[in-house]
């Protein structure tokens, strides 16, 4: 009896259980979500398209074909896949450069804001007292004013901005949301046993933070970063729509193209055809929705315990 048990136990121990770390497990969970995977694919495709846009664009965005002035060319013409706009400029080039602006600015914003937010949130969550209070006040101040207004103000102050600089301005405001999340996630870790064990083993504070605490908050960080991309795209589209984003003279923006939809707000005397604002509208919506859906699926994959159905 006991002999067979021993054999069974030895067998179980000897049986090579494939070792799967938490990241592999999260990856497997993510792959089981077809919606999340396809959303991530769409988001990545749009991002790559946006990054390489200036290289693959068939024409510069400001080149004008005089024969189409006030008589925009329709879709799917040889040489002009998406036709032209009212000024006779190739519309595919307009859309590609617009996507480039949005993607570059929102990625810089999300990346930078995540770094700032993680550092600030960790400081606030790990060390009580002055650091926590100072960061709390900044976060409260930031919540007191609409992000749109502050960013608009700074963009104006710094005008004209290039996409990269636009992203930096957004970053300087949007890091507070990540800091809030990280602070809340780091705080309860301080009193956990593995932190105490690391401290007892003589690990330095920095080592405890980087090797033991931060890996436990990667889930919220990844989710917060993807949410930031969505937020940034929304803000960029809005500010461009209002006419104050990236200088719009010869560099089109998705939000700026959207203005043509509203009678009386558009830049042209001739009412542009609907496709000239529907295509940018679809791109903006597709980008935000796919990034958000992918972020939610990542959230579920990375936080199996706190899964919301």
Partner 1 sequence: MTRYLVRRLVLALATLLALSFGSFVAFGTSFDPTYQFNLCGSEECKQQRAQIVAEYHLHDPILSRYWRWLSGFFHHGFGTSTGGFPIWPGLEHALESTAELLAAALVLTLLASLAIGIVSALRPRSGVDVVLRFAGYLSWSIPTVLIAVLLRRWLAPTGIIGGSVAPIQVQGITVLSDGPAGFTGWLARFTLPAVAVALGLTGLYSRYLRSALAVALAQPHVVVARGKGLPERVVVLRHALRTALVPLVSLVSLDVGAAVGATLVADVVFPTRGLGTMLLGTLKSDDPFELTAILVCLGATVLAATFLGDLAIAALDPRTRSAE
**Minimum distance, C-beta of residue 71 to partner 1, in the bound complex (Å):** 22
Tell me: does residue 68 bind partner 1 (CB under 8 A). no
Outline where 127-253 has alpha helix (H).
130-143, 147-158, 163-186, 193-200, 205-207, 218-242
Site string for partner 1, 92-131 (x = CB under 8 A): ----------------------------------------
**Minimum distance, C-beta of residue 60 to partner 1, in the bound complex (Å):** 27
SS3 61: coil
Number of chain positions touching partner 1 (CB under 8 A) = 39
Q: The tokens of 263 are what? A: 């009678």
Q: The tokens of 161 are what? A: 């901005």
Tell me: does residue 246 bind partner 1 (CB under 8 A). no
The dihedrals phi and psi of 265, each to the nearest 5 degrees, come to: -100, -20
CB 27 within 8 A of CB 301: yes
Tell me: does residue 277 bind partner 1 (CB under 8 A). yes
Please state, in angstroms and rounded to a whole number, the distance separating the CA atoms of residues 26 and 243. Answer: 42
Q: The tokens of 308 are what? A: 């919301």
Phi-psi category of 268—alpha, beta or left, where left has phi over 0 and alpha has psi -120 to 50?
beta
- Identify the residue among 31, 44, 56, 153 touching partner 1 (CB under 8 A): 153
| Contact region with partner 1 (CB under 8 A), list: 57-65, 117-125, 204-212, 261-269 | 261-269
Site residues, partner 1 (CB under 8 A):
140-141, 143-149, 152-154, 156-157, 230, 233-234, 237-238, 241-244, 255, 258, 261-263, 265, 277, 281, 284-285, 288-289, 292-293, 308-309
């Amino acid at each position: 009896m006991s002999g067979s048990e021993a054999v069974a136990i030895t067998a179980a121990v000897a049986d090579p259980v494939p070792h799967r770390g938490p990241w592999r497990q999260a990856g497997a969970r993510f792959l089981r979500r077809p919606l999340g995977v396809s959303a991530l694919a769409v988001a990545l495709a749009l991002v790559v398209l946006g990054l390489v846009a200036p290289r693959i664009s068939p024409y510069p965005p400001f080149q004008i074909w005089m024969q189409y002035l006030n008589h925009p060319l329709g879709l799917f013409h040889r040489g002009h896949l998406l036709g032209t706009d009212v000024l006779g400029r190739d519309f595919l080039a307009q859309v590609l450069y617009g996507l480039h602006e949005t993607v570059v600015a929102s990625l810089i914003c999300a990346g930078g804001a995540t770094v700032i937010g993680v550092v600030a949130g960790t400081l606030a969550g790990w060390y009580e007292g002055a650091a926590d209070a100072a960061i709390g006040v900044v976060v409260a101040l930031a919540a007191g004013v609409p992000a749109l207004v502050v960013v608009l103000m700074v963009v104006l102050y710094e005008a004209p901005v290039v996409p990269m600089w636009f992203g930096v301005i957004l970053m300087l405001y949007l890091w507070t949301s990540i800091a809030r999340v990280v602070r809340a996630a780091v705080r309860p870790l301080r009193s956990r046993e593995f932190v105490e064990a690391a401290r007892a083993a003589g690990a330095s504070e920095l080592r405890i933070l980087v090797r033991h605490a931060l890996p436990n908050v990667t889930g919220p960080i990844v989710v917060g970063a993807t949410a930031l991309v969505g937020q940034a795209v929304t803000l960029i589209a809005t500010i461009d729509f209002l006419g104050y984003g990236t200088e719009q003279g010869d560099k089109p923006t998705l939000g700026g193209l959207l203005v043509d939809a509203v009678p009386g707000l558009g830049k042209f005397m001739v009412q542009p055809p609907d496709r000239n604002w529907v295509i940018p509208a679809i791109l903006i919506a597709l980008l935000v929705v796919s990034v958000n859906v992918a972020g939610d699926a990542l959230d579920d994959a990375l936080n199996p315990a706190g899964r919301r159905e």
